[in-house]
Structures are given as C-alpha cells and as structure tokens.
Amino acid sequence: MATRTKRPPTKRPVQHPTRRAEHKRGRRWWLFAGVIAAVAAIATTAALVASRGDEETVGDGAAAVAGLPNTPDYHSLLVAPDTASTVVLGTHDGLYESRDGGRTWQSTTLKGQDAMNLARADGQVVWTAGHDVLAKSSDGGETWEDVRPAGLPHLDIHGFAVDARDPSKLWAALAGTGLYRSTDGGRTFALVSREVGAGVMALAVTPDGRILAGDMQQGLFVSADEGKSWKVTLNAGLMGLAVNPKQPKLIVASGPGILRSTDGGRTWDQAMPLEEGAGPVAWAPTDPSTAYVVGFDKTLYKTNDGGQTWQPVS
C-alpha cells in the first residue's frame, strides 16, 4: 500500500494525532489510491490465476477448495458464535464458509451479491451490507431477507455495524454520502454525519458506546457522543476493525498491515506489516485469543495470542 511515510517496524507505536478531522479530503487521496490499488491487484490476480489447491467433497456434496476462494475481492469476515474453526468470508460473489479454521472453503449463500460487511446482532441474527445489498438472516446465515429501509438515499454501504448493547441500533456508512443510524432494527435510517462516513470502509461500536470509523482517506475517527463530534486517533487508511468480544479494549485494525490497540483504540502498534495491505478482520467469540485477517496477498492470517503475533493459515 502506498503511503507518504516509511512503514514503521513491528511493535513501534503508530502515529496517532488527536485532531485531523478538519483536513480536506483531497490531502488524503494517496491513502485512498493505495487501498484501491491493492484491491485492484487482487482483482487482477483472481482473474488470471486458476483456482488454488485441490478439491475435496464435504458432507452435503459441495466442493471445499483448499486456500482462499478465487474471487475478485475479499470484503468481510465473521467467526461462528460456537466454534473458532468455522469462519464466513464475504466476497464480491456472495458468502463462503470454512469449517476447518480457514484451510478449505466452499460457496454457501448470497451467490452473485456483494457482501462487503458481515455483522452479528444477537443469537442467530446476522446482517450483511454492500453494493446494493442490505440483508438480514434470522437463522445464522442459512437464509436471508432483503431489507429496503426508508431514509437511505442509496444502498452503496461500505461500512456497517451493530451496537452490541442494543441490537436494534445499526450504523451504515454510505459511499460518498455520510454516516446513517437506525434505532428500529433497520426499518428506517437517519443521517448522523456528512463529515464522517463518505470514505469509511471499517466501522465498529465499542461496549462503552464509542463509534470507530476507519476512513481510507483521513484515518480512524472516534466519536463518544453518537456521532455529533469526532477526533482522529490513527493516521492510516483502514479496511477493517474488530473489537475483542471478551476484552473490549483490545482492538485489531487492518489496512497498512495489521494494527493492534490495547487501550480501546486510543493508541496503536503495528503487529504485522504487510506490503500489499490487509482487509477484513474478525475475532472468535468463543476464544478471545483467536482472530483472523485476510491479506491482500491472498493469504489468511491467524493469531492465537490476542493479536500479538500472526501466522499464515496453511
């Protein structure tokens, strides 16, 4: 990923200025361009390279393919609520599932739809959102209901999050528009901010109610007052954010490699630099030491020590 500064070495603090919200969008175009270049590289590679690995037959007769699926884009990740070895990957061509910790994958649902975001509300309720996609599942992702709420000017949703304290409160970052909120379970949305949201690709809500919005052009915005005011705590274009389900001060972000915060997102260290960058990230609800990140080098990385070290899944 192209940046204006040299990549910091592992474990050294990442710059986190306290105020950059007033910077013009044009001054961060290089961050956006770098991320887009990385995504484009993945799309080109997927178009030229044949499917990776061998196939094996699974119980329902479908084919599980070794390695990440051969799709143009890797958008989102979600780990099952009952086991750390079952992972769902959202792509430009629907959802894929791995039942062996990311070693093999098979296509499941939403074929042909752009699942840029995956978010679990409570129990078996799961949301997905993306390009012309907003859908809700009440059975853990087996079936999906198309949702067309009032209040959204379009359905190009690049960032999406559910408030863990209140599953009826949803947040949606619309490309080129702003940040919207629903307080009625997705039936209606209302505009919260035009300052933040238009360039947001990563969105998360902490247990204390703070909103984290990773903007590819302007860095990581944080709001403690429901989006009324914002400050920037990390000067890096982000593609993914995940709050640890058991240790809420432990947060992993992805973009210029894998970043880690142990104080709720106020300061950051780079846990693993990745020259090509990284995209979706997710923690395992049943094991707070385990998380996954998809690199733009077409590699799935896993941690078993709370994000301190990462290894490729093979």
Domain ranges of the chain: 13-312
Helical spans, DSSP H, in the chain: 29-48
Phi (first) and psi of residue 46, to 5 degrees: -65, -35
Asked if 146 and 134 touch (Cβ cutoff 8 Å), the reply is: yes
Task: Encode pLDDT of 292-305 as tens digits.
Answer: 999 999 999 999 99
Q: What is the pLDDT of residue 41?
A: 40
CATH entry 2.130.10.10 includes domain 13-312: yes
Q: What is the pLDDT of residue 72?
A: 81
Angle at 18 between CA 170 and CA 171, to 5 degrees: 5
Can you list the residues of the chain whose pLDDT is less than 50? Answer: 1-61
One-letter amino acid of 256:
P
Global pTM reads 0.81
Q: What is the pLDDT of residue 64?
A: 85
Q: Extract the tokens encoding 230.
A: 């914002």
Please give the Cα distance from 10 to 69 (Å, whole number).
29
Nearest residue to 217 (alpha-carbon basis) of 170, 173, 161: 173
Q: What is the pLDDT of residue 227?
A: 96
In a 13 Å sphere around the CA of 108, the CA atoms on its Cβ side amount to 19
Query: DSSP class of residue 156?
Result: B
Q: Give residues with Cβ within 8 angstroms of 33, minimum separation 6.
A: 2
How far separated are the first and last CA of the chain, in Å rounded? Answer: 24
